[in-house]
C-alpha cells in the first residue's frame, strides 16, 4: 500500500512538472513569435519611411495608421496586383504569407508613437474596423488569392499551348455579377456549393468550377476595395485633425504652412514641419546642455541650388543640426602682459561641436563626409558636410585655424545612430615677439 501511495505521489509530481514545462514552453514560443513579429513590423516601417517599400508594404501602408507621418498608398490594392509581372506577384505571395503569420501580433507591435489624444482615438477607431486579428488575416488571404490568380493567369497567357477554358465564360459571368453587393455574391457562392454537393448527373463540373473561381476572385476584390475605402476615411480624419491642430497652434487657416516658423520641444527650438526622427535626435542632443564656455552655432552658408543624381527619386532636403561653438579667453604671453582677470582680453573661438542628423539615409552603409574650402577672407573658411540621398549638402562659415587632431584634446569624428559628430578644438596660438 505504501509503495502504491509513493508511486501515485511520484506520478502526480511528474504530471505537475510536465504541466509547468508545457507552460514555460508556450511562454517561450509566444515570446519568440512576438519578437519575430516586432522585427517584421519594424523592417516594414523602415522601408516605408525610407521610400524602399515593397508592394506588400505599399498595400499595408493604408492600414498602418500608427505611422501618422507617412502618406498612405491611394491606389486600390487589386489594381496594383493586376499590373504586376510574374516575378513581382511571386514575391508578393511570399510577403503576404509573412503578413498572415504575424497578423495576430499587429495590435501589440504597432502602437502609435504619439501623445495626441485625438490621434490615439483615431487609431482606436481604425483598429475597430477589423476588431480582431482574424479580420486582418482575412484581408491578407484575399490579397493572396488575387496575387495567385493573376500569377496563374499570366503564366497561362505566356504558354500558348494551354487552353484557357474559363476565359470562354468569364465575360458572361462578370456581366451577371457586375455591381452586385457582397451579400448577393456570398449567396451565389453558397448556391454553387450546394450544386456540387447535390452531385447531379447532368452537372458540368468544369463550367461551374470556373464560375466559382471567378466569383471568389470578385468577392476578394470587393472586400479588399471596401477595406481600402474605410481606412482612407480614417486617414482623411487624421489629416483633418492635424490641420486643425496646426491651425490652433499657429493661428493660421487649415492647410497653411510656414516652414520658417518654429515650435518648442522641451525648451529646444525645432523648425516647424520637422519629422519625428529628427525631433527625437535633436531632443537627445539638446538634453546634454551647454557648458559655460559654449554657445549655439548656426552660421549656415546659403549655397546655389544643386541637382543631385537621385533628385528624381527622392525629394532633397537639408539635414537638421544642433551645433555649439567653444569660446573663451586666450591667455598667451601678450594677453598675460596686457590684460588681467578684472580686465580680460576679447573672447576668441576655441573650437566647434557639429552634430548633423541623418536619420533617414537611404544607404545606411554610406558614411557622411566633410570637406574644407577657402574663402576670400584669409581668416574664414567653409566647412561642408555631404551625405547621400535624400540629404542636400550643408555648409557653415567657421574660423580658419589649425585643428587639434588628438582625442585627448577634444577631437571626435564619428557617425552613429544617424548622427554625424565632428568636434574639434584649435591649436593654441604661440605669441612671438
Average pLDDT for the chain: 77
Residue range 403-415, pLDDT digits in tens: 988 877 888 888 8
Strand partners, 372: 383
Q: Which tops the pLDDT comparison, 151 or 293?
A: 151
Which burial class, exposed, middle or buried, applies to 44 when counting CB atoms under 10 A from its CB (0-12, 13-18, 19+)? buried
Strand partners, 323: 297
Checking if the pLDDT of 373 tops 50, the result is yes
216-227: average pLDDT = 87
Q: Which of 2-6, 238-242, 254-258, 428-432 has the highest mean pLDDT?
A: 2-6
Checking if the pLDDT of 372 tops 90, the result is yes
- Give residue 143's pLDDT: 92
C-alpha cell at 430: 604661440
Q: Which of 190-199, 217-226, 336-345 has the highest mean pLDDT?
A: 217-226
Cβ atoms < 10 Å from Cβ of 296? 11
Residue range 282-333, pLDDT digits in tens: 666 666 666 677 888 888 888 888 888 888 888 888 888 888 898 888 877 7
Please report which confidence band the pLDDT of residue 262 belongs to, taking 50, 70 and 90 as the band edges: very low
Please report which confidence band the pLDDT of residue 156 belongs to, taking 50, 70 and 90 as the band edges: confident
- Give residue 246's pLDDT: 56
First CA to last CA across the chain, in angstroms?
A: 110
Torsion of CA 86, 90, 95, 101, to 10 degrees: 140
Residues 6+ apart with CB under 8 A from 129: 135, 227, 230, 231, 234
Using CA atoms, how far apart are residues 206 and 193, in angstroms rounded to an integer?
13
Please report which confidence band the pLDDT of residue 335 belongs to, taking 50, 70 and 90 as the band edges: confident
User: CA Rg, the chain, in Å?
Assistant: 32
Q: What is the pTM (predicted TM-score) of this model?
A: 0.50
Closest CA to 88 of 158, 162, 156, 154: 154
Residues 400, 404, 410, 414, CA torsion sign: positive
The answer to whether 252 and 272 are in contact (CB under 8 A) is no
The answer to whether 350 and 327 are in contact (CB under 8 A) is yes
Amino acid at each position: 500500500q505504501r509503495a502504491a501511495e509513493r508511486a501515485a505521489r511520484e506520478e502526480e509530481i511528474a504530471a505537475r512538472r510536465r504541466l509547468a514545462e508545457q507552460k514555460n514552453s508556450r511562454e517561450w514560443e509566444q515570446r519568440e513569435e512576438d519578437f519575430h513579429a516586432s522585427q517584421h513590423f519594424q523592417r516594414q516601417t523602415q522601408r516605408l519611411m525610407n521610400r524602399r517599400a515593397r508592394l506588400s508594404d505599399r498595400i499595408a501602408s493604408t492600414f498602418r495608421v500608427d505611422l501618422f507621418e507617412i502618406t498612405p498608398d491611394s491606389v486600390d490594392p487589386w489594381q496594383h496586383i493586376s499590373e504586376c509581372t510574374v516575378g513581382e506577384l511571386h514575391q508578393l505571395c511570399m510577403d503576404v504569407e509573412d503578413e498572415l503569420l504575424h497578423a495576430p501580433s499587429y495590435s501589440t507591435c504597432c502602437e502609435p508613437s504619439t501623445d495626441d489624444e485625438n490621434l490615439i482615438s483615431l487609431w482606436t477607431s481604425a483598429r475597430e474596423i477589423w476588431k480582431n486579428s482574424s479580420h486582418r488575416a482575412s484581408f491578407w488571404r484575399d490579397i493572396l488569392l488575387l496575387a495567385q490568380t493573376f500569377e496563374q493567369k499570366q503564366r497561362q497567357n505566356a504558354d500558348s499551348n494551354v487552353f484557357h477554358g474559363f476565359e470562354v465564360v468569364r465575360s458572361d459571368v462578370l456581366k451577371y455579377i457586375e455591381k452586385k453587393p457582397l451579400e448577393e455574391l456570398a449567396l451565389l457562392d453558397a448556391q454553387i456549393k450546394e450544386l456540387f454537393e447535390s452531385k447531379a448527373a447532368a452537372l458540368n463540373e468544369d463550367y461551374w468550377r470556373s464560375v466559382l473561381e471567378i466569383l471568389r476572385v470578385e468577392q476578394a476584390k470587393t472586400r479588399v476595395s471596401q477595406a481600402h475605402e474605410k481606412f482612407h476615411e480614417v486617414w482623411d480624419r487624421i489629416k483633418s485633425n492635424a490641420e486643425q491642430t496646426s491651425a490652433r497652434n499657429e493661428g493660421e487657416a487649415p492647410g497653411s504652412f510656414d516652414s520658417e516658423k518654429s515650435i518648442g520641444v522641451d525648451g529646444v527650438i525645432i523648425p516647424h514641419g520637422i519629422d519625428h526622427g529628427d525631433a527625437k535626435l535633436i531632443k537627445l542632443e539638446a538634453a546634454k546642455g551647454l557648458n559655460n564656455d559654449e554657445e549655439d552655432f548656426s552660421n549656415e552658408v546659403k549655397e546655389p541650388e544643386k541637382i543631385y543624381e537621385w533628385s528624381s527619386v527622392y525629394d532633397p532636403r537639408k539635414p537638421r543640426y544642433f551645433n555649439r561653438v567653444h569660446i573663451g579667453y586666450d591667455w598667451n604671453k601678450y594677453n598675460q602682459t596686457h590684460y588681467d582677470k578684472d580686465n580680460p582680453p576679447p573672447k576668441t573661438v576655441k573650437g566647434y561641436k557639429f552634430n548633423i542628423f541623418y536619420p533617414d539615409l537611404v544607404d545606411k552603409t554610406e558614411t557622411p563626409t566633410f570637406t574644407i574650402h577657402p574663402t576670400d577672407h584669409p581668416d574664414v573658411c567653409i566647412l561642408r558636410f555631404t551625405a547621400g540621398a535624400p540629404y542636400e549638402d550643408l555648409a557653415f562659415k567657421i574660423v580658419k585655424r589649425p585643428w587639434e587632431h588628438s582625442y585627448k584634446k577634444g577631437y571626435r569624428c564619428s557617425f552613429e545612430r544617424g548622427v554625424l559628430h565632428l568636434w574639434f578644438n584649435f591649436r593654441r596660438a604661440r605669441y612671438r615677439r
